[in-house]
């Protein structure tokens, strides 16, 4: 695995160096492709050109360096994600697509992370599971154990969203994610992001008698009901803790831990109803110095730190009297602060309820049914909070723009649910 780490690092440096120079050339290939995003009014139209061809390696796979020769602007912007990750994410890990290898190796020392982790972190998960299946033995094996077999393996790369046809194909390639529901079909442009930014349970479903994670819908209440139904089916040998974890002190259950439910939360939002996708704000169409319009692939940065994204927001929000990128940023930050207050209140509510449960159990003066009902209220309130967080951390409120009204409703309902449960233990 040491050789793989070195290869990944050298590849990133080499591609980055080549593209910084390549992106400055006046003759860069056009980056605008059919259906990339809903484009803001940039004042320039995407240039028309024949579909470029990406070099295919001997093993039938194109690598990021090969794509970078044809799509220098997109690839350079992708790699630029390594440079802006501290703007608002100082309390979390990098969250940069360009640094997934380094992040994994820092977060889980000695490259002991399992193959299942790579369902989101590497398009090569597909190669491994196609070659060896999706048994518990394979999914739990350290990724390092496959380094000799797949010597040119890369982490998250162009193939994750585009297979091997970047100009014309936008497709989720996480083979497990694509099997997790028969009753709810997300828009394809949401799925390419949602294949990773969604319920973490996907990495274990292939080994359980479960084939429809969204059978109760994608809402917080629907998913909570699904967790309750899945719990008896959990196979703990292959990551059952992605469905439920047990608090050792109280026995309270925490459902859906590890989930980043951005995909589910976005459904039915005002932005989605306007025809927007994740890429609309996180990967806005951008104009290069030579006038070429291309889709920025720096999806790791915050839209409110991106002038192009803010201009896109203004195409609608000017109707609310927001007349500048600075005013737009302040508007978003205000909504984030409002949500953060609700989330922080929920944290306090949950802490108070947990303390009351501990006290009631110790005192023995509350009947078991009441304690069980209070524990379930804690579990549901905790899931409401998880559903609105995305990634939990000190950066509360950060996902407000995804579906502000729904998130605020969950915090209000959660506050009522948890405080009423606490009162029953008094």
| Residue 360 near residue 371 (C-beta atoms within 8 A) | yes
Q: What is the mean pLDDT of residues 293-320?
A: 92
Residue with tokens 């409703």: 409
Under the banding of pLDDT at 50, 70 and 90, the label for residue 381 is very high
Q: Spell out a b/e string for 207-232, using b for 16 or more CB atoms within 10 Å of the CB, else e.
A: bbebeebbbbebbbeebbebbbebee
Q: What is the pLDDT of residues 195-232, one digit of tens each?
A: 888 876 554 555 455 667 888 999 999 999 988 988 87
pLDDT band at 23 (very low <50, low <70, confident <90, very high): very low
Q: For 211, what's the count of Cα atoms within 13 Å in the CB-facing half-sphere?
A: 3
Residue 104 falls inside a structural domain: yes
Q: Residue 347: how many CB atoms within 10 A of its CB?
A: 14
* Residue 191 forms part of a structural domain: yes
- Please tell me the distance from the alpha carbon of residue 109 to that of residue 104, in angstroms, as a whole number: 8
Does residue 403 form part of some domain? no
Total structural domains within the chain: 1
Q: Residue 129 has what pLDDT?
A: 87
The residue range of the domain holding 127 is 1-197+274-301
Is 114 within a domain? yes
Residue 413 covered by a domain: no
Task: Kindly indicate the confidence band of residue 237, based on its pLDDT and cuts at 50, 70 and 90.
Answer: low
**Residue 177 in domain:** yes
Helices 325-363 & 404-424 angle (0-180, nearest 10): 20
Whole-model pTM: value is 0.82
Angle between helices 100-107 and 2-22 (to 10 degrees): 150
**Which residues have a Cβ under 8 Å from the Cβ of 140 and sit 6 or more positions away?**
114, 115, 116, 237, 238
In 3-state terms, what secondary structure has residue 209? Answer: coil
Q: Does residue 138 sit within a domain?
A: yes
How far, rounded to the nearest angstrom, does the alpha carbon of residue 375 sit from its chain's CA centroid? 29
Three-class DSSP category at 147: coil
Determine the Cα–Cα distance for residues 172 and 37; give it in Å rounded to an integer.
16
Residue 323 lies in a domain: no
- The region of weakest confidence among 76-80, 209-213, 256-260, 271-275 is 209-213
pLDDT (tens digit, 9 = 90+) per residue, 350-366?
999 999 999 999 999 99
């Amino acid at each position: 695995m040491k050789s793989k780490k070195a290869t990944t690092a050298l590849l990133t440096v080499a591609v980055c160096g080549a593209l910084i120079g390549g992106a400055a050339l006046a003759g860069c290939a056009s980056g605008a492709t059919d259906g990339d995003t809903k484009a803001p009014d940039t004042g320039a139209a995407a240039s028309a050109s024949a579909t470029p061809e990406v070099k295919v390696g001997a093993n039938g796979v194109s690598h990021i360096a090969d794509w970078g020769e044809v799509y220098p602007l997109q690839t350079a912007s992708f790699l630029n994600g390594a440079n802006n990750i501290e703007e608002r994410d100082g309390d979390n890990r990098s969250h940069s697509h360009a640094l997934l290898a380094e992040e994994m190796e820092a977060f889980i020392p000695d490259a002991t992370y399992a193959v299942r982790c790579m369902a989101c972190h590497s398009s090569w998960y597909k190669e491994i599971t196609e070659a060896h299946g999706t048994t518990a033995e394979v999914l739990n094996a350290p990724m390092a154990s496959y380094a000799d077999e797949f010597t040119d393996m890369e982490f998250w790369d162009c193939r994750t969203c585009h297979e091997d046809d970047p100009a014309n194909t936008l497709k989720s390639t996480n083979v497990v994610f694509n099997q997790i529901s028969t009753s709810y079909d997300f828009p394809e442009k949401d799925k390419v992001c949602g294949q990773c930014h969604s319920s973490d349970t996907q990495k274990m479903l292939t080994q359980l008698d479960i084939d429809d994670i969204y059978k109760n819908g994608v809402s917080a209440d629907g998913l909570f009901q699904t967790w309750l139904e899945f719990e008896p089916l959990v196979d703990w040998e292959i990551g059952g803790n992605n469905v439920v974890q047990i608090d050792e002190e109280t026995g309270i259950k925490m459902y859906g831990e590890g989930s980043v439910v951005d995909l589910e939360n976005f459904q039915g939002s005002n932005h989605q109803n306007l025809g927007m996708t994740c890429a609309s704000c996180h990967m806005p169409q951008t104009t290069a110095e030579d006038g070429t319009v291309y889709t920025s692939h720096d999806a790791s940065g915050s839209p409110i730190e991106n002038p192009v994204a803010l201009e896109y927001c203004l195409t609608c929000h000017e109707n609310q009297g927001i007349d500048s990128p600075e005013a737009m940023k302040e508007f978003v930050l205000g909504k984030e602060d409002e949500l953060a207050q609700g989330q922080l209140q929920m944290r306090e509510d949950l802490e108070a309820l947990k303390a009351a449960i501990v006290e009631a159990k110790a005192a023995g003066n509350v009947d078991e049914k009441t304690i069980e009902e209070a524990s379930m209220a804690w579990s549901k309130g905790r899931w409401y909070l998880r559903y609105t967080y995305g990634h939990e951390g000190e950066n509360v409120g950060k996902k407000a723009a995804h579906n502000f009204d729904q998130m605020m409703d969950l915090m209000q309902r959660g506050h009522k649910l948890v405080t009423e449960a606490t009162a029953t233990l008094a």
